[in-house]
Chains A and B, each alone.
Chain A
Amino acid sequence: MSRPQPLVVGAGPAGVRAAETLVKAGLRPLVVDEAPACGGQIYRRPLVKDERDARALYGSEAGKAQRLHGAFAALAGRIEHWPRALVWNLRDGRADIAVAGESRAVAYDGLILATGASDRVLPVPGWTLPGVFTLGGAQVALKAQGCAIGQRVVFAGSGPLLYLVAWQYMKAGVKVVAVLDAAPLAAKRHLLRGLALAPDIVLRGMRFAAELRLNGVMLRHGICDLAFEGEGRVAGVRWREGRRERHLFCDGAGYGLSLRSETQLADLAGCAFAFNQRDRAFLPQRDPSGRTSVRGVYIAGDGAGIAGADAAELAGERAALALLEDRGLPHAPERAADLERKLARIGRFRDVLEAAFPFPAQWAARVKDETVVCRCEEVSAGALRNAVRDFSLDEINRLKAVSRIGMGRCQGRFCGAAAAELLAVETGRGVEAVGRLRSQPPVKPVPLTLMPREAAE
């Protein structure tokens, strides 16, 4: 029997470039993605074509989006592509994939995880109100669905996405009331260092801010104690600047604090994790090529640590070359070295961005007891603090066991970071000392009636 083919999870920038590289070497990978079409979140495509062209949808990144979509289309017939499919469990060379109501068990030889990222948030009062979405969510509504999340919209949080989404809303003709950046203005000086590393990105960000300001959008820096207010839906936002409390009316809000990696499958695959200071999160360990601690498992793109779409394309190709090398196939060592150099450069730029948009580490000490931390199970900050004290806990999975944090439908994706920060403050330690939530299958909800079926191959 021939060797099973590699499995690529995710058809965003990293997954597409990985698949393309494998195909060039004569392999026929299975590419599995939850979306109906390739592109990932950043180059996501509307369900049906609308009146907007690529330039309107993807802005300055239109060329990259079109090239990526084109590259994937060119693989048709040379890869196995399962769209609308969820890899819900993994183990020892077998993946369980939910597709069309069935669970197919697929054997693979070589696994490239390109699982991407979603918004990182720290819970604030009112964050569960209708009308409050993640920055990424606000962007999907606009780009993929052609809808604005409100008519007077506030964007809050931090990170490059904050300014990008606000600018996209403004360009689409939506009234943007304010951009509230948790990062202090002084932190932005770090961007000057970034000018040498990625001038186009820094200048584009500066242009977004300038155009927002020119159009009368209020830009505030160093805000804290953010809170969304409203009865039944968001109607306003409140924040503090120094000793001043401020308030604005709004009917929609986008909120996020940079991104967090989707690492569940790497965990289920048995990859070793280590704390990453820049992302302030536990991430799968990998070498510059994308090899993890588990033989035959590779990781690329934002799912391996936040680095953005350009890095994801490079890392996807690099990881695929590593897979080829480990499989004894031609693997373009010079190209690999070049990719690693480029990735290292982007890594240095990521350091700059993290300095310019620092994680608001004071959150855990300031969050009020009544604030809901876990939106699935509605566990409050006070309940977490009580659990830590009542049970003398100092480890995040123990806190999960008694408080239900991370046990809900999202499995801790949106509360895990916050719970770890709280636990760290309550026990007087660094956040790296409290451990990480262990992943459990299914990585996302699956119906009880999911019927098993052995794949033909």
Chain B
Amino acid sequence: MSTRLHVDVAVIGGGLVGSSAALALSQMGMSVALLDRRYCGAQASGVNYGGVRRQGRPPEQLPLSQRAHAVWPRLKALIGIDGEFLRSGHLKLAMSEADMASLEAYAAKVADCGLDLELLGHNELHRRFPWLGDAVGGSFCAGDGHANPRLVATGFAAAARRAGVHVLENTPVTGVARNGAGFALEAGEGLKLTAGTVINSAGAWADRFAAEFGEPVPLRRIYPSMVVTEPLEPVLTVNIGMEGGGIYARQVERGNCIVGGERAEALTDADFSRPRSDGALAIMSRAAALFPGLAKAQAIRFWSGTEAEMPDRNPVIGPSLTTPGLIHAFGFSGAGFQIAPGVGEVLAELVRDGRTTTPIEAFSIARFVAGTATDRTTLGSGAGKEQEPQRRGA
């Protein structure tokens, strides 16, 4: 079978970033092909924890994060479903005075970024959240929340399809190269595609495309590890994180609690992964201690997935330095869910206007090009550390 297709934009990778970019581009009137080697939204975008969280991100991510923040309440209008988005608030706990100090330092650093963080001391914390076990204090961001990643990721791809995007699943891109003014791609079984612009949003598979254009990056695969409880009476009223990353937890409206932490392991087919038993047990035990209301609960299901992490835990977003018409957006390092819908808009602007109104310089691939050292912003409070490997028990 041989098929030919010409589009304005070819998007490689149908995760949340690629799907939301495809939708935005289509709404701008461009023709778009969205290619995924398996299923749209089935990898990092669909298997992450589901935190819709600005709190804890490094300052350079916050303009993008704020842009995405405006998209989340509009999901229903944008993709036809609300994705179970709940603006529950996000509470980041400190388990020691030192951790509390770093929460305070973070709050001071981002004071002008519009997060409206509330620092809570021990007493106030337990008065507001009486279901919490022992903690020294916390930082609360009322505007943050959580959503169902499986629905949101799949929903963006479905909306893109309805908007006229050629959504091509089970269609791995086997070749991509500059071709005259644009690109020639080969994908799936005999699909030949030409496109003016290519977006590389291939997540954990994006490094091979970047390398193909002379931009190798130190991308590493990481595997989150989640535990789901049976449906329970309401216990966790907010999305919970922890300074230092010991645990994160949320409860969905149907009653299941999702508890994450630790890392999963790749299977023989490294595209798939599974939580480690010892890691899951550690998380379960921590959850039962931190949330007494969960102490009698049963765990009914674990899950994992494949995410891409960059050494500095910031994504790569922006134009290629070697190849005109190629735009990268990958490496969200376990913290891409909340900002992805904003990234989609930014990518669409980049394609249409060649620039974007949201600052993204910090995410340039230039920082990984030998000899182009850029000044790294330090992570301060521990940006995105909610999904970092454990300090203990690992």
Interface residues of A (CB under 8 A from B): 89, 91, 94, 96, 103, 105, 268, 270, 377, 390-392, 395, 397-398, 401-402, 407-409, 411, 440-442, 445-452
Rounded to whole Å, the gap between the CB of A283 and the closest CB of chain B is 20
* B39 and A91 within 8 A (CB): no
Measured in the bound complex, the distance between the Cα atoms of B228 and A442 in whole Å is 10
Closest Cβ neighbor of A452 among chain B residues: B281
Chain B residues, CB < 8 A from A270: 267-268
Chain A residues, CB < 8 A from B274: 91, 268, 440-441
Measured in the bound complex, the distance between the Cα atoms of B148 and A391 in whole Å is 15
Rounded to whole Å, the gap between the CB of B104 and the closest CB of chain A is 32
Interface stretch, picked from B92-100, B203-211, B300-308, is B300-308
Closest 3 CB pairs of A and B: A445-B298, A401-B150, A448-B284
* B278 and A441 within 8 A (CB): no
Rounded to whole Å, the gap between the CB of B352 and the closest CB of chain A is 27
B323 in contact (CB, < 8 A): no
Which residues of B (279-334) have their CB < 8 Å from a CB of A?
Answer: 280-282, 284-285, 287-288, 294-303
* A449 and B288 within 8 A (CB): yes
Q: Determine which residue in B151, B281, B294, B296 has the highest number of CB atoms from chain A within 10 A of its CB, and name it.
A: B281
Chain B residues, CB < 8 A from A390: 80, 158
B123 in contact (CB, < 8 A): no
Given contacts A441-B302, A445-B230, A445-B300, contact A450 B158 (CB under 8 A): no
Measured in the bound complex, the distance between the Cα atoms of B294 and A370 in whole Å is 33
Beyond A408-B300, A447-B297, A452-B282, 13 additional contacts (C-beta under 8 Å) are A105-B278, A270-B268, A391-B158, A397-B42, A401-B41, A442-B299, A445-B300, A447-B296, A448-B294, A448-B295, A448-B296, A449-B284, A449-B285
* A448 and B297 within 8 A (CB): yes
Query: CB within 8 A of B285: which of A91, A392, A401, A451?
Result: A451
Q: Can you name 16 A-B pairs with beta carbons within 8 Å?
A: A268-B274, A391-B157, A392-B167, A398-B154, A401-B150, A401-B154, A408-B300, A409-B230, A411-B301, A440-B302, A441-B275, A442-B301, A446-B299, A448-B227, A449-B296, A450-B281
Q: Determine which residue in A268, A391, A407 has the highest number of CB atoms from chain B within 10 A of its CB, and name it.
A: A391
Rounded to whole Å, the gap between the CB of A198 and the closest CB of chain B is 40
B interface, size bucket: 35 or more
Measured in the bound complex, the distance between the Cα atoms of B276 and A91 in whole Å is 9
Chain A residues, CB < 8 A from B167: 392
Chain A residues, CB < 8 A from B303: 440
B241 in contact (CB, < 8 A): no
Query: CB within 8 A of B42: which of A377, A392, A401, A452?
Result: A401
Measured in the bound complex, the distance between the Cα atoms of B274 and A442 in whole Å is 11
Query: CB within 8 A of B287: which of A408, A448, A451?
Result: A448
Rounded to whole Å, the gap between the CB of B285 and the closest CB of chain A is 7
Measured in the bound complex, the distance between the Cα atoms of B281 and A96 in whole Å is 11
Chain A residues, CB < 8 A from B66: none
B250 in contact (CB, < 8 A): no
Closest Cβ neighbor of A400 among chain B residues: B150
Rounded to whole Å, the gap between the CB of A408 and the closest CB of chain B is 7
B161 in contact (CB, < 8 A): yes
Measured in the bound complex, the distance between the Cα atoms of B240 and A294 in whole Å is 40
Measured in the bound complex, the distance between the Cα atoms of B277 and A377 in whole Å is 25
Q: Determine which residue in B80, B280, B282 has the highest number of CB atoms from chain A within 10 A of its CB, and name it.
A: B280
Measured in the bound complex, the distance between the Cα atoms of B161 and A446 in whole Å is 40
* A103 and B281 within 8 A (CB): yes
Measured in the bound complex, the distance between the Cα atoms of B190 and A457 in whole Å is 55
Closest Cβ neighbor of B149 among chain A residues: A401
Closest Cβ neighbor of A394 among chain B residues: B169
* B297 and A442 within 8 A (CB): no
Q: How many A-B residue pairs have CB under 8 A?
A: 93
B46 in contact (CB, < 8 A): yes
Closest Cβ neighbor of B153 among chain A residues: A401
Q: Determine which residue in A270, A442, A451 has the highest number of CB atoms from chain B within 10 A of its CB, and name it.
A: A442
Closest Cβ neighbor of B259 among chain A residues: A448
Closest Cβ neighbor of B158 among chain A residues: A391
Query: CB within 8 A of B229: which of A440, A448, A452?
Result: A448
* B277 and A446 within 8 A (CB): no
Rounded to whole Å, the gap between the CB of B372 and the closest CB of chain A is 40
Query: CB within 8 A of B277: which of A89, A398, A409, A440?
Result: A89
Rounded to whole Å, the gap between the CB of A449 and the closest CB of chain B is 5
Measured in the bound complex, the distance between the Cα atoms of B267 and A327 in whole Å is 26
* A440 and B299 within 8 A (CB): no
- 0/1 per residue, B191-206, Cβ < 8 Å to A? 0000000000000000
Chain B residues, CB < 8 A from A402: 150-151, 154
Measured in the bound complex, the distance between the Cα atoms of B303 and A407 in whole Å is 11
Measured in the bound complex, the distance between the Cα atoms of B275 and A268 in whole Å is 11
* B277 and A103 within 8 A (CB): yes
Closest Cβ neighbor of A95 among chain B residues: B277
* A442 and B302 within 8 A (CB): yes
Closest Cβ neighbor of A401 among chain B residues: B150
Which residues of B (145-163) have their CB < 8 Å from a CB of A?
Answer: 150-151, 154-155, 157-158, 161
Rounded to whole Å, the gap between the CB of A9 and the closest CB of chain B is 16
Chain A residues, CB < 8 A from B150: 401-402
Measured in the bound complex, the distance between the Cα atoms of B150 and A397 in whole Å is 11
Chain A residues, CB < 8 A from B228: 407
Chain A residues, CB < 8 A from B161: 392
* A441 and B277 within 8 A (CB): yes
- 0/1 per residue, B231-244, Cβ < 8 Å to A? 00000000000000
Measured in the bound complex, the distance between the Cα atoms of B286 and A452 in whole Å is 13
* B277 and A105 within 8 A (CB): yes
Measured in the bound complex, the distance between the Cα atoms of B83 and A402 in whole Å is 10
* B154 and A448 within 8 A (CB): no
* A409 and B300 within 8 A (CB): yes
Chain B residues, CB < 8 A from A392: 158, 161, 167
Closest Cβ neighbor of B256 among chain A residues: A407
Chain A residues, CB < 8 A from B229: 448
Chain B residues, CB < 8 A from A408: 300
* B39 and A398 within 8 A (CB): yes
